[in-house]
Amino acid sequence: MKKIVFFVLPLLFCLGACSEFLDTKSMGAANVNNYFNNDQEAIDIVKILYSDTADEARWGRDIFWEQCGANDVVFGRTYPELYPLSTLTMGTTEKYQNWIYSKCYSTMATAQWIIVHLEEKKAKTPLTEIETRTLGEAYFFRAFLHFTIAYRHGLGDLGVPYKPWEEYENGYNNEIPPQQPSVMDNYMYILSDFKKAEEYLPWKGSIEATYGRADIGRAHKVSAIAYQAKVWAYMATWDKICKERNLEPWKEVESIVNRLENEFGRGLNPSFSQLWSSEFEDFWNKECCFSFPAAGGTFGTSQASGIVFAGIVLDYSGWVTTDGQNYSGWGQFKPTADIYNEMAKDNHEVDENGKPIKNERLAKSILEYGDVFPFLGEYFAYTDMSNVEAGFQINKYMDAFKHDQAVAKGYIPTSLNRCTPRVNFHMIRFAELMLFRAEACLHLYGTDKYGDINAIRRRSGLLEKTNPSWADLYHERRCELAFEMTDHLHDLKRWVVTGEQGVNLGALYDLAYAELTSHPNTRQTQWSPVKGIVTDKDGNVMYNEDGTPVFDYLYCRPVEKGGKLVCEYFANEGDRKMTSVEVDSVDPIYGYGVKDGKFIPYYARRNNPGAEWKEVPYPAYETPVKEWKTNKIAFKYSDTEITASGGLYKQVEY
């Protein structure tokens, strides 16, 4: 009868204790009402703010696609779905804009939650040092993400959806955040958040003194102040509203930048190139204000941190060294002939043949055909081999690739899926702030009062401008900050909108307008004799007296076929088939085949770094022509966002 007892028990148990039986617990998840019990919990919840923001789907790449609407970069591979971005038209496929919009808000929700809960805790008990920092980071990221949405989707007469959760008396009730009447109202919230972040974030005289090795790269007081200057500069776009509200944004910009310089010791790093160094000791100089440092790999493991942008812009085919090391990137953005030519205006020295010598800033920013660059311990001459020929590659983030055995040494990670070559990826640096101050001074005093433009030019060895003008500001901002996450496209938009409100920007308005209504050029190669890095017949690179590899015409190297030495080569321009010829002898130094006392030249296109090229429009962009209308300052909300709001949100009219 024991069995019967066993069966009846569950019945009795249930009748007596149903309520307790149903009170089940979840396992493996922290409860929302019981958090911030220790510092580690604060550290864990703030991680998501950094990792989401630095992810490939945000600042690692996707926010950059829209830059193909300005003329500094083109798509490095064919993306017909994205081409509408390059014509400033929004079709049905602007998925990256929608993606960034919704992801900014979802990351912001965690920042909102942290702020509400830590402020609550702070009202009852003093916060620890880590908790205070966490609160500052939450304010910093809430402002940073809100700012991103505000200037990309907001207009003077139509703000973006936002309401801070602490303004809900009984806690956030899942309501749809109201669209602010003007983007200026959003900016006021953003400024207030950055000021709170400034208050709570630490600063001990320098970045390295503020954070130890495990934390360096977190936002600090200077980061929060630097972004305030940028917010004010964007507020100035809406000049009429500033006047109505008695705001003087450019005065604010001037005084914030002065404060950073005088109180916080910010200034230019003596070397431009060193800003993108692959050595950790160069990362935290006085120019750095906020960045996402990329580690490379941790000494051969797949662990990687930071931004993948450097891997995104590395050529898709990559290069292979003689000892078999190879690395290829994603090749998704390439510079244009337009930005190359703009930067080349600063060349002022010539070599013994009278050819211009490339200025440091251009050399560090762009690789062009035939440029000799170090890669995995060897030298290569740049050529653009991928399907979409543009003729250039971004060079700013290439330093980590120069090292021999770079993967094994940890400069670059093994995984191409998350390619984070070691570089300090600047989000906002003091040079940008100086350019904002220069812009402020041109507005306020009609002159670059602090000499910021020339200071930046001197640093890269460029000739100084006498009495820099609006046109110089355009040139300097475009060239100095090229290919960085400073949003060149939106610089153009805010300048044009400011000009359209009757503010006199001189040539700046015309330059910005011209860029917004034209398509860029790229380089397309012609057939020509092959040039490359010259080696002797044993394969050793030949060097010039100054230590750089010899880059010159290459001739055919013979191979042995049927007991004879023959050269196989493209004999003429446009040849599709190789010609085979028996050689008389082989040159003892260079290893080239000699026939009738001469080296045998061969021709190629594209895979020849020395090929002749011409400037032509980027093929994909010929139609339609870009058009500029004032309201295109704002990206359209996605159709589902408007539908989901049930008519609460107004749409920017197109």
Residues 211-230 that bind other proteins (CB under 8 A): 211, 213-218
**Cα–Cα distance, 274 to 287 (Å, whole number):** 11
**Cα–Cα distance, 211 to 204 (Å, whole number):** 9
Q: Is 652 in the site for other proteins (CB under 8 A)?
A: no
Q: Give backbone dihedrals phi and psi of 509, rounded to 5 degrees, phi first.
A: -60, -50
Pairing mode, if any, of strands 613-617 and 521-525?
A: antiparallel
Report the nearest approach of other proteins to the CB of residue 463 (Å).
36
Q: Is 391 in the site for other proteins (CB under 8 A)?
A: no
Q: Is 373 in the site for other proteins (CB under 8 A)?
A: no
Q: Which is nearer to other proteins, 266 or 418 (CB)?
A: 418
Q: Is 112 in the site for other proteins (CB under 8 A)?
A: yes
Report the nearest approach of other proteins to the CB of residue 614 (Å).
13
**Cα–Cα distance, 104 to 150 (Å, whole number):** 11
Q: Is 306 in the site for other proteins (CB under 8 A)?
A: yes
Report the nearest approach of other proteins to the CB of residue 449 (Å).
36
Q: Which is nearer to other proteins, 42 or 442 (CB)?
A: 42
Q: Is 623 in the site for other proteins (CB under 8 A)?
A: yes
Q: Which of 463, 578, 589, 625 binds other proteins (CB under 8 A)?
A: 578
Task: Look up residue 179 and give its DSSP letter.
Answer: B
Q: Which is nearer to other proteins, 336 or 460 (CB)?
A: 336
Q: Is 197 in the site for other proteins (CB under 8 A)?
A: no
Q: Which is nearer to other proteins, 224 or 295 (CB)?
A: 295
Report the nearest approach of other proteins to the CB of residue 282 (Å).
12
Q: Which residues are CB-contacts of 343 (< 8 A; sequence separation ≥ 6)? A: 359, 361, 362, 365, 366, 479, 482
Place of tokens 């805790």: 121
Neighbours of 556 (CB within 10 A): 23
Q: Which residues are CB-contacts of 217 (< 8 A; sequence separation ≥ 6)? A: 211, 291, 292, 293, 306
Report the nearest approach of other proteins to the CB of residue 185 (Å).
15
User: Which residues, numbered 154-183, are part of the site for other proteins (CB under 8 A)?
Assistant: 160-162, 174-177
Q: Which of 414, 518, 526, 579 binds other proteins (CB under 8 A)?
A: 414
Q: Is 309 in the site for other proteins (CB under 8 A)?
A: no
Which run of H or of E encompasses 586? strand 585-586
Q: Which of 38, 44, 341, 631 binds other proteins (CB under 8 A)?
A: 44
Listed ranges 109-117, 193-201, 446-454, 462-470: which one lies at the site for other proteins (CB under 8 A): 109-117
Q: Which is nearer to other proteins, 3 or 355 (CB)?
A: 3
Burial class (CB in 10 A: 0-12, 13-18, 19+), 502: exposed
Strands (E), 32-183: 73-75
Place of tokens 């061969």: 602
Report the nearest approach of other proteins to the CB of residue 147 (Å).
15
Report the nearest approach of other proteins to the CB of residue 425 (Å).
9
Q: Is 140 in the site for other proteins (CB under 8 A)?
A: no
Q: Which of 2, 80, 538, 539 binds other proteins (CB under 8 A)?
A: 80
Q: Which of 51, 128, 548, 651 binds other proteins (CB under 8 A)?
A: 51
User: Which residues, numbered 320-359, are part of the site for other proteins (CB under 8 A)?
Assistant: 331
Pairing mode, if any, of strands 579-582 and 564-569?
A: antiparallel
Q: Is 92 in the site for other proteins (CB under 8 A)?
A: yes
The 3-class SS string of 69-99 reads HCCCEEECCCCHHHHHHHCCCCCCCCHHHHH
Q: Is 2 in the site for other proteins (CB under 8 A)?
A: no
Q: Which is nearer to other proteins, 48 or 541 (CB)?
A: 48
Number of residues lying near other proteins (CB under 8 A): 119
Q: Is 37 in the site for other proteins (CB under 8 A)?
A: no
Neighbours of 73 (CB within 10 A): 28
Listed ranges 44-52, 201-209, 393-401, 439-447: which one lies at the site for other proteins (CB under 8 A): 44-52
Report the nearest approach of other proteins to the CB of residue 126 (Å).
23
Q: Which of 500, 552, 645, 652 binds other proteins (CB under 8 A)?
A: 645
* Cα 207 from chain centre: 22
**Cα–Cα distance, 132 to 46 (Å, whole number):** 12
Q: Is 4 in the site for other proteins (CB under 8 A)?
A: yes
Q: Is 105 in the site for other proteins (CB under 8 A)?
A: yes
Q: Which is nearer to other proteins, 137 or 476 (CB)?
A: 137
Neighbours of 176 (CB within 10 A): 12
Listed ranges 120-128, 207-215, 357-365, 496-504: which one lies at the site for other proteins (CB under 8 A): 207-215
Place of tokens 């940008």: 432
Q: Which is nearer to other proteins, 18 or 514 (CB)?
A: 18
Q: Is 415 in the site for other proteins (CB under 8 A)?
A: yes
Tell which residue, 522, 541, 529, has the closest CA to residue 607. 529
Report the nearest approach of other proteins to the CB of residue 159 (Å).
12
3-state secondary structure of 550: coil
**Cα–Cα distance, 295 to 305 (Å, whole number):** 5
Q: Which is nearer to other proteins, 232 or 603 (CB)?
A: 603
User: Which residues, numbered 586-605, are part of the site for other proteins (CB under 8 A)?
Assistant: 604-605
> Edge to edge, what strands does the sheet with 598-599 contain?
585-586, 593-595, 598-599
User: Which residues, numbered 9-28, are part of the site for other proteins (CB under 8 A)?
Assistant: 10-11, 13-15, 18, 21-28
Report the nearest approach of other proteins to the CB of residue 326 (Å).
10
Q: Which residues of 572-582 are buried (b: 16+ CB within 10 A; e: fewer)?
A: eeeeeeeeeee
User: Which residues, numbered 253-292, are part of the site for other proteins (CB under 8 A)?
Assistant: 280, 283, 292
Strands (E), 286-407: 288-294, 319-320, 326-327, 333-335, 349-350, 356-357, 366-368, 372-375, 378-381, 392-394
Q: Nearest-5° angle of CA 214, CA 215, CA 219?
A: 165
